[in-house]
Amino acid sequence: MKTITFYTRQGCHLCDEALAVVYTIQTREPFTLEIVDLDREASADKRALYDWEVPVIELDGRKIAKYTIEAERLLRLLCD
């Protein structure tokens, strides 16, 4: 099963919108979802790398999106 890691931070409206897309796609194509608060739970290297890009979505450790994600694109990447 594939893993989506969703880097977020509190009070981020773009994060809320992107996470809603992720949840919608999860009902169609199962995957493991890990939600990581960038400010509280992320490693120092991820905080430095993604500080200005939240939300960031990784698929099996590879960054596939920042700021927004289109449902069709996420579904296509999960099915590849």
All structural domains of the chain, each given as residue ranges with its CATH number in brackets, are: 3-79 (3.40.30.10)
pLDDT score, position 75: 96
The CA distance from 80 to 62, in Å, is 14
The CA distance from 14 to 45, in Å, is 22
* Whether pTM exceeds 0.85: yes
Chain-centroid distance of CA 14 in Å reads 11
Give 10-residue mean pLDDT values along the chain (80 residues): 97 97 97 97 96 97 97 95
Output the CA–CA distances (angstroms, integers) from residue 49 to 10, 14, 30, in the order listed. Answer: 18, 18, 28
